[in-house]
């Protein structure tokens, strides 16, 4: 059982007796494992950073950044507390206050982490953007959130943001960090309101008192994609840290002497929740790798940094699997206590590979941007069922609920969904609210938020089965959203960008299975009169997609097809495109308008 233990003290969390752990759990007790602000309320940055200094662990290393230039940086909790205070002071100095949105756009460099936590100290709201996004996803997200501040590097600003300034009227301040930013101190501004952070740093003191923070105050906005429409900005509050901390203890088994490596980029929800907040609340040392995947280097990093707990993703594990044994030959991984995975289905083969090659079970975990924290997991001290996402975390009630063939959730007599209790029934994964890290809204989209719930239940949109022992098995997504290398990609966003090209009349975008990254983005494009399919146009459209959307989102492949299948109401039938592409049964075609 997860033990008592308060503050930053050691916790012996043993999930061996799962039923007892669940029975003993309550969210209010989990809240007591954290400190709360001395002046009242709860603030994520205080729980993650400052309280460790108060508890006498200021000298413990909070972050180790493994840098591309070989100049690694290590910051203690005391240093992190000071830097994040300075950042909060900078915001105050600029007149940026509680509730104002600060976006971050950079690779995994130290000052990005300062900006994230400093923003939370100032009670402003932070939204991470992925640095591999092109200008279009950046414009949309910053526009929806009415961002007042952007923290980015000079190179990313010049390449992706400068040209958008006219379309971002709310953006007043751009704070430059990372390579090339110090050189711009005192130099001519490279755009309106664009200042190197170092220039504003000079007048800060490093002492900043966090104001009382209502636990229900917004802290983070994580953008995610749906089947249709613009990206959705899931709003999370400061109280979410209770769930980050509890799951870090129960699922990742983090203790304050752990060295933890989460490979996710903080541009996505995993990299923020479990690359920064959750581990820091446990007082661990977080390793941040500034470089991209490389099998040999990754094994060396695990060895040299003495990583004890490692949280990564199926795509990365499949790449390691493909790389074979040679890259880890002679590598001492004896420090490694746990390996966990998230973001996509974890194939049983990968779990078996983990046992054979690195002698560790890989524990799958399931959660979403909207849930804010891990909801279903395979726990240390319990068996791993290869291919299963595991069982709900203590404090979370999960059910499999029925949808009718039209996709509507079936309502029971009480207006709520109908739980399917028989083992292995296929349905949608639903979670009973509330819990601290559940999103509180989609910014500016109350109707979309409302449709995510039915009565007391949050509807995940994922199709699952639960076996007779209560383990959940992922079956597929219930919508057309694509998961590529663990990143969610909205087909509508990709279609809209392609439609901006003068040759494109219509576009339908799907995910095509890929053995390594899960799915790759593929577009079907109908051309406007006067345009003919050609290799040159194909190349141009691929390049156009990349320049607007960025490499992480743009289609890898495009097929010209004039007669895209549509419903009677004129919507392109992505499902049919996918079925035809993959040679699958085409299903119910009764609403098809243009059979082809």
What is the binding site for ligand 6R9 (CB under 6 A)? 224, 269-270, 342-346, 364-369, 389, 460, 462, 474, 477, 483, 488
Residue 158, burial from CB neighbour count under 10 angstroms (0-12, 13-18, 19+) = middle
Structure-block tokens of residue 472: 């959940």
Please report, for residues 261, 265, 318, 557, the alpha-carbon distance to residue 295 in angstroms, rounded to integers and kept in the order given.
15, 17, 11, 26
Which CB sits closer to ligand 6R9, 501 or 578?
A: 578
**CB of 352: closest distance to ligand 6R9 in angstroms?**
17
Which CB sits closer to ligand 6R9, 367 or 457?
A: 367
Instruction: Say how far residue 85 (Cα) sits from the centre of its chain.
Output: 25
**CB of 344: closest distance to ligand 6R9 in angstroms?**
5
Closest residue to ligand 6R9: CB criterion: 369
Which CB sits closer to ligand 6R9, 37 or 342?
A: 342
Extended strands (E) in 57-172? 61-66, 73-76, 101-105, 125-129, 149-152
**CB of 593: closest distance to ligand 6R9 in angstroms?**
29
**CB of 346: closest distance to ligand 6R9 in angstroms?**
6
**CB of 421: closest distance to ligand 6R9 in angstroms?**
22
Q: Are 66 and 301 in contact (CB under 8 A)?
A: yes
Which CB sits closer to ligand 6R9, 412 or 470?
A: 470
Which CB sits closer to ligand 6R9, 364 or 506?
A: 364
Peptide bond into 431 cis (omega under 30): no
Q: Of 532, 556, 522, which Cα lies nearest the Cα of 542?
A: 556
Decide the pairing of beta strands 482-484 and 472-477: unpaired
**CB of 237: closest distance to ligand 6R9 in angstroms?**
18
Which CB sits closer to ligand 6R9, 241 or 503?
A: 241
Nearest-angstrom CA–CA distance, 317 and 320: 5
Nearest-angstrom CA–CA distance, 120 and 114: 10
**CB of 313: closest distance to ligand 6R9 in angstroms?**
8
Q: Are 13 and 3 in contact (CB under 8 A)?
A: yes
Q: Residue 516 — φ and ψ, nearest 5°?
A: -100, -55
Which CB sits closer to ligand 6R9, 372 or 395?
A: 372
Structure-block tokens of residue 6: 């308060």
Instruction: Say how far residue 578 (Cα) sits from the centre of its chain.
Output: 26
Count CA atoms within 13 Å of residue 507 on its CB side.
Answer: 24
**CB of 385: closest distance to ligand 6R9 in angstroms?**
13
Which CB sits closer to ligand 6R9, 331 or 475?
A: 475
């Amino acid at each position: 059982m997860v033990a008592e233990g308060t503050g930053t003290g050691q916790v012996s969390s043993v999930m061996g007796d799962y039923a007892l752990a669940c029975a003993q759990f309550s969210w209010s007790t989990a809240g007591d494992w954290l400190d709360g602000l001395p002046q009242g309320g709860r603030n994520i940055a205080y729980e993650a950073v400052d309280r460790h200094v108060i508890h006498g662990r200021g000298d413990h290393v909070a972050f180790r950044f493994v840098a591309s230039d070989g100049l690694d940086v290590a910051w203690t909790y005391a240093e992190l507390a000071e830097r994040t205070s300075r950042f909060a002071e900078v915001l105050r100095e600029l007149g940026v206050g509680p509730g104002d949105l600060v976006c971050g756009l950079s690779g995994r460099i130290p000052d990005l982490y300062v900006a994230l936590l400093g923003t939370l100290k100032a009670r402003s709201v932070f939204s991470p953007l992925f640095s591999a996004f092109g200008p279009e996803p950046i414009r949309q997200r910053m526009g929806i959130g009415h961002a007042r501040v952007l923290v980015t590097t000079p190179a990313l600003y010049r390449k992706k943001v400068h040209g958008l300034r006219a379309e971002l009227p709310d953006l007043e301040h751009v704070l430059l960090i990372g390579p090339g930013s110090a050189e711009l101190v005192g130099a001519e501004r490279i755009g309106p309101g664009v200042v190197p952070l170092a220039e504003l740093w000079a007048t800060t003191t490093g002492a900043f008192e966090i104001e009382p923070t209502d636990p229900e105050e917004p802290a983070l906005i994580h953008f995610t994609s749906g089947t249709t429409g613009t990206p959705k900005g899931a709003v999370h509050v400061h109280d979410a840290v209770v769930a980050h901390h509890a799951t870090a203890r129960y699922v990742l088994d983090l203790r304050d002497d752990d060295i933890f490596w989460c490979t996710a980029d903080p541009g996505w929800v995993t990299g923020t929740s479990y690359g920064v907040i959750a581990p820091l609340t446990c007082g661990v040392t977080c390793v941040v790798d500034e470089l991209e995947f490389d099998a040999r280097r990754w094994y060396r990093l695990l060895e040299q940094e003495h990583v004890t707990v490692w949280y990564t993703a199926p795509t990365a594990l499949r790449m390691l699997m493909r790389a074979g044994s040679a890259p880890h030959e002679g590598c001492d991984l004896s420090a490694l206590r746990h390996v966990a995975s998230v973001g996509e289905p974890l194939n049983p083969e990968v779990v078996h590979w983990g046992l054979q090659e690195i002698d560790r079970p890989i524990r799958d975990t399931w959660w979403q941007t909207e849930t804010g924290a891990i909801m279903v997991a395979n726990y240390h001290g319990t068996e791993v069922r290869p291919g299963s996402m595991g069982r709900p975390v203590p404090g979370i009630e999960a059910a499999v609920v029925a949808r009718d063939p039209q996709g509507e959730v079936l309502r029971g007599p009480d207006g709520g969904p109908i739980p399917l209790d028989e083992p292995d029934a296929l349905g949608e994964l639903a979670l009973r609210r509330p819990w601290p890290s559940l999103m509180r809204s989609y910014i500016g989209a109350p109707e979309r938020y409302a449709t995510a719930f039915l009565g007391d239940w949050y509807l995940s949109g994922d199709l699952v089965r639960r076996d007779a022992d209560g383990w959940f098995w992922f079956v597929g997504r219930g919508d057309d959203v694509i998961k590529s290398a663990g990143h969610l990609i909205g087909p509508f966003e990709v279609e809209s960008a392609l439609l901006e090209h003068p040759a494109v009349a219509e576009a339908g975008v799907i995910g095509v299975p890929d053995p390594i990254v899960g799915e790759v983005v593929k577009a079907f494009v109908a051309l406007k009169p006067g345009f003919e399919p050609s290799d040159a146009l194909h190349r141009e459209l691929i390049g156009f997609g990349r320049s607007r959307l960025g490499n992480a989102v743009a289609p890898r492949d495009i097929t010209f097809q004039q007669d895209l299948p549509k419903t009677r109401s004129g919507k392109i039938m992505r499902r049919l495109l996918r079925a035809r592409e993959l040679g699958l049964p085409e299903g119910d075609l009764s609403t098809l308008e243009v059979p082809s």
